[in-house]
Chains A and B, each alone.
Chain A
Amino acid sequence: MSAPAKSAALSHVRICDLTGLLAGAGATRFLAAFGAQVIRIEQPLHETHRWDFLRGGRMPDGRMGINFGGNFNNHNVEKLSVTLDLKSEEGKQLLTRLVEISDVVTENFSAHVMERLGFGYERLKAINDQIVYVSNSGFGKTGPYSDFKSVGQVVQACSGLSFVSGLPEQPPAGWGFAYMDHMGAYLMAAAVLAGLIARKRTGEGQWVDFSCTEAGIGLAGPDLLDATVNGRPMRRPGKPNSNADNFPAMAPHGIYAAAGDDSWVAIACRDDDDWKRLASVVNEPWALDDKLATLAGRFAQREELAELLEAWTSRHERARSVELLKAAGVPAEQVAMPEDRIDNDPRTSKWNLWPWVHHAEIGDVRVEGVPIHMSETDWIIARGAPCLGVDNDFVYGSLLGLREREIADLASRGVI
């Protein structure tokens, strides 16, 4: 059986990949989908304390083990896996040889781990002066918090992103998932690509250090400048009110209850014309009141207007009110549950957003695709995450030239 095809976009790029979890693995996932050869360096099987704790897991059918993590499978499609004990001298020698033959080194350990392992940038550069090294940590490699531990929820809290999600006079609602692991991964991948582009221009490698918390602060939007320019902080009475508030200001603008249990619709009237369309769909006396014809008028009665509109949305199934409003040209969507958007949305299925991959032990399973299509060198996601160390023979044998006997010896001593 021939190997599945790879995208040609980045097929000339080899990545020595020390990342894990989503914040790092999500970055090299993107590069692998576009054809880069991503070699994951992982702790040997005997290591019980595994820093990428997503690797192992339990399947819905009860099967469990080191190769059964569902999130791991999603985040590591199209990659290779080798095992390597980085604390051993022989392990360090093998990593040195992998760095020699790679274009890129990626990692998202805590800030000072690479130096402790003996592979800080000066060392990487001495091994391979063309190397593009991209590091990703919660707080960056310098500053009072550089040793602090971080996961997505820590990044979101410390950057202000959790704060700006919620209702007035309520605790922060925050994020129900690690948004900044995604955004961090995307920006980390961008740094890898930018480093490769610069290397082509200058002939030199470089180190780019990425701070995920700083990326988060930069995603506050125009509200943050309202604080620094106008002295109007986000921590003030009535804030956040993140469903209703928006730049540009809109009313109505919010999430409204629909008929049924925990069923909701999102509606936004961009301007007075949208309002006129919505009012004609609702067609009740309050909606036809002239006082609501202008944004200023609607804003003056924003809370009351939201209650009246919600009384209307509550009488309809969410699909029905969305259908009526869309037909009139008003932006409206149901608050989609995972099954709505994954299994029942032609806008994702036609995009091929949920491709099937084959995983050697899990079997055939759906994963996330890529929200980009490229006309000449599109992404290909067909292979599930690699089983632990499955590419040891290829990487240590074919790429580094070790003999079969040497590989077996390293394995028997737990180096790989």
Chain B
Amino acid sequence: MPPPSAGAPIDPARAILQGLTVLEIASDRAAYAGKLFGDLGANVIVVEPPGGHASRWYGPFVDDEPGPNRCLWWWNYNTSKRSVVLDLNTDAGRSAFRELAGVADIVLEAEDPGTLESFDLDHPQIRADRPELIWVSVTPFGRQCAEFHEPTTDLTQLAAAGTVWACGYDDHSQPPIRPSGNHAHHTASAFALLGALTAVVHRDVTGIGQHVDVSMHAAVNVSTEVSTVDWLFAQSTLQRQTGRHASAHPTMEIQVPAADGRFVTTPLALTSAGNFRAALEWLRELALEEEFPEAFFLQMGIDRGGVSMKQLGVDAEVTAIYGAGREALYLIASKFSARQFFVEAQRRGIACGVVFSPEEALHDEHFRAREYPIAVEHPELGRSITYPGIPFTGSEIPVILRRAPLVGEHTDEVFGEMA
């Protein structure tokens, strides 16, 4: 069966979050949440100070020419939004903000604790008149922990909350690694979206809104999988390893270079009897069996009906069979380009991956076939730019993105709608 509506434009009135109005105060921390709302069809109005939000100057820039409307950070995190410029330092700006909050379903903000209160624009003041309003605050440590507030960046938050400790190399003289991409912001924004939507579902039944307090520190802390759970459950401290899960004890490498020097990853190696049979047949097709004296272990894997990863290090025979399976994959990978190995191994039922760079992923044939990359028009530049698209498909999932707004592009339009 085809998926719901792949490729076909949908009626904007049917977009999944159509009908929700989100009033966002421009920020680093919650911008991605606002983007997700907008891309899914909500009416997102992002409020910026005169001249535009600071993140319009973060870079990189179109053709390396700086400018508030040429910043790729801003473009990336502000698609499908409309921009309104308000000066919250003035009475007129605050009054206009209150007016917009008066018609919003959700206010999304990431101001430091105390900032909005000093403008008399915090949620207790605004929600007093509109109990149905949902107000989402994203701060480094949560409004509930405001006394711990201090300056942070994506790097320091990922270090404090466990991501960095778990990532890096086998060689511990190398520093642990902070993955790039702004993942403290992404993780906090995912929870901002979840909290807001949960509150909408509740409001739709009861008519009551609420304050949603998101802690970035807490969000990253609960997003390190085994690194957290193994401490909670077994007081075990996992150690970083190259290209694979951190572990209490060193585990086999899973990431190796293919013939083109690019990397493949084989996280599960071979486990089922079918996996072992596929690998053995593949070795034979490539006339590599002679080069691989451990091939008999693959036959043992077939004869045993596969092996359980839970027996690794417990059962010596299972450990040897499993290790030979991984070595067989390494040998085969050394004969193919990384992508060829990935596709061919997967076609043979072996779970593995190719380490694409982001742009290689975006332009790969699978994602193009699914129309995941989206061409976004930038008429003022006379250019159409390829963006990563929407990771959902469905009859009510939009298939277009609107480019991020110019500074204050929609101020008149939005207040015109209010009149």
Contact = CB atoms under 8 A, between A and B. Distances in A.
A236 B156 CA distance: 26
Contact of B1 (A115, A216, A242, A354): A115
Interface in A300-335: 326, 329-335
B247 to A, nearest CB: 8
Contacts of B169: 167, 170-171, 173
B179 A264 contact: no
B6 A142 contact: yes
A337 B160 CA distance: 9
A361 interface: no
Contacts of A30: 194
Interface string B155-199: 111111111111111001011111111110011101101110111
Contacts of A350: 144-145, 148
B85 to A, nearest CB: 21
13 contacts: A71-B233, A73-B233, A121-B4, A145-B346, A158-B356, A214-B389, A222-B75, A257-B175, A338-B228, A339-B235, A342-B232, A348-B221, A373-B213
Contacts of A195: 16
A219 B180 CA distance: 9
- Nearest 7 pairs of A and B residues by beta carbon: A160-B358, A371-B218, A176-B166, A157-B353, A266-B159, A70-B233, A165-B179
A8 interface: yes
Interface string B339-365: 000110010011111111111111001
A109 interface: no
A367 B23 CA distance: 34
Interface string A155-197: 1111111111111001111111111011100110111011111
Contact of B59 (A139, A248, A336, A354): A248
Given A154-B352, A163-B357, A337 B165 contact: yes
Interface string A238-280: 0010110111111001111100001011111010000000000
Nearest to A64: B310
Contacts of A196: 201
Interface string A337-348: 111011001111
Contacts of A351: 141-142, 144-145, 215, 218
Contacts of B182: 221, 247
Contact of A223 (B174, B180, B209): B180
Interface stretch (B286-294, B321-329, B367-375, B410-418): B367-375
B392 A191 contact: yes
Contact of B186 (A70, A115, A183, A242): A183
A213 B211 contact: no
Contacts of B152: 331, 333
Contact of B180 (A122, A197, A240, A336): A240
A144 B17 contact: no
A157 B58 contact: no
A335 B176 contact: yes
Residue among B226, B231, B388 having the largest count of chain A Cβ atoms under 10 Å: B388
B64 A218 contact: no
A348 B182 CA distance: 21
Nearest to A192: B197
Contacts of A267: 156
B243 A209 contact: no
Interface string A208-228: 111111111111111111111
B159 A255 contact: yes
B155 A228 contact: no
A143 interface: yes
A94 interface: no
Residue among B4, B160, B365 having the largest count of chain A Cβ atoms under 10 Å: B160
A389 interface: no
Interface string A57-85: 00010000000001101100000000000
B161 A336 contact: yes
A148 B191 CA distance: 29
Contacts of B75: 222, 225
B1 A153 contact: no
A201 B233 contact: no
Contact of A341 (B145, B221, B233): B221
B419 to A, nearest CB: 26
Given A140-B393, A331-B153, A351-B142, A377 B202 contact: yes
A282 interface: no
B227 to A, nearest CB: 5
Contacts of B208: 376
B202 A10 contact: yes
Residue among A12, A171, A250, A371 having the largest count of chain B Cβ atoms under 10 Å: A371
A60 B229 CA distance: 13
Contacts of A365: 232-233
Residue among B6, B14, B186, B221 having the largest count of chain A Cβ atoms under 10 Å: B221
B255 interface: yes
Contacts of B209: 376
B211 A375 contact: yes
B150 interface: yes
A69 to B, nearest CB: 9
B394 A208 contact: yes
Interface in B296-355: 309-310, 342-343, 346, 349-355
A143 B354 contact: no
Nearest to A327: B150
Contact of A165 (B177, B213, B343): B177
